[in-house]
Amino acid sequence: MARVRRYQRKSTIRPLRVVVVALMALSVLGVIYERDAAIRAFDRWTPIRYVRIEGAFEGLEPQQFESAIRPMVQGSFLTTSLSTLEAAAREVPWVGDVTVSRVWPDTLVFTLDELDPVARWGDRQLISSTAKVFNRPASKVDFDHLPILKGPVGREREVLAMREQLDQKFAAAGTHVVKLSLSERLAWNATLASGLEITYGNLSPAESTERLLELLPHLQAQHQAEIKTVDLRYPRGFAISWKVQPTGVAPGSAASDGHG
């Protein structure tokens, strides 16, 4: 009889526990459903009605930015993620930093800064002062005056920094770099505003330029103007090719730094 009573007691309590757990689960589901329903209703009550774009537009057309962000601006004025909108807006060409804010009761404000292109990157892109490469936007801005830089992916910052170093060194000679490239084999080549083409190879362009600037004064001024290319791949001198062979200068002549 004891066994039967114990069995009956368990059979009475266990269903009760199941009922309690089931009621708790239903109550949780009810809360979740009510919360989701409230959110959906809240989204309908607080839509985004207006978007305002602020910033100094020089290269980027406002209509271009508006078209790019239009698909992103959806949902509720209060529940839309501003950080998500900011991240997406930064992917628009020419856009640098972006801040999105809410203006009660139904307006989002995009405040943006354009990227500052300091050079052309290859044939179709631009590079900013922070070494960010981006596609040229549909703009009336003329980029032809910017220098042309090229380099392997991941070497953008290095190429940009080297161009700045070389410009500082050539400033004393009254010229600057208009083209600078770094090959996949990490060989440097540059073209100056004077038209002079320089081959650096794998040697340091900064150090080689110092050597070049020390040796050029040894050439007569009229001869300097006739130089077409300079090959600085020699550790103790350089080779010159001429536009027109100057009188008294042997073809393919090379200058030495006097150290060997």
CATH number of the CATH domain containing 88:
3.10.20.310
Tell whether 45 is covered by a domain.
no
* Domain hosting residue 177, numbered range: 147-256
Q: What pLDDT is attached to residue 140?
A: 66
Instruction: Summarize pLDDT for 63-95 with one digit per residue, the tens.
Output: 878 888 888 887 777 888 888 888 888 888 788
* Mean pLDDT in residue range 154-171: 95
Q: What is the CATH number of the domain that holds 186?
A: 3.40.50.11690
Clarify whether residues 89 and 160 are in a common domain: no
Q: What pLDDT is attached to residue 36?
A: 52
The answer on pLDDT for 177 being more than 90 is yes
Q: Count CA atoms within 13 Å of residue 28 on its CB side.
A: 6
Clarify whether residues 159 and 248 are in a common domain: yes
With 0-12 CB in 10 A as exposed, 13-18 as middle and 19+ as buried, what is 112?
buried
Q: What pLDDT is attached to residue 112?
A: 87
CA distance 44 to 76: 7
CA distance 70 to 160: 34
Clarify whether residues 106 and 169 are in a common domain: no
Q: Say how far residue 256 (Cα) sits from the centre of its chain.
A: 42
Sign of CA dihedral 173, 176, 179, 181: positive
Q: What pLDDT is attached to residue 215?
A: 78
Instruction: Summarize pLDDT for 196-247 with one digit per residue, the tens.
Output: 999 999 999 999 999 888 877 776 555 666 788 999 998 777 888 887 655 5
Instruction: Summarize pLDDT for 46-62 with one digit per residue, the tens.
Output: 787 888 888 877 777 77
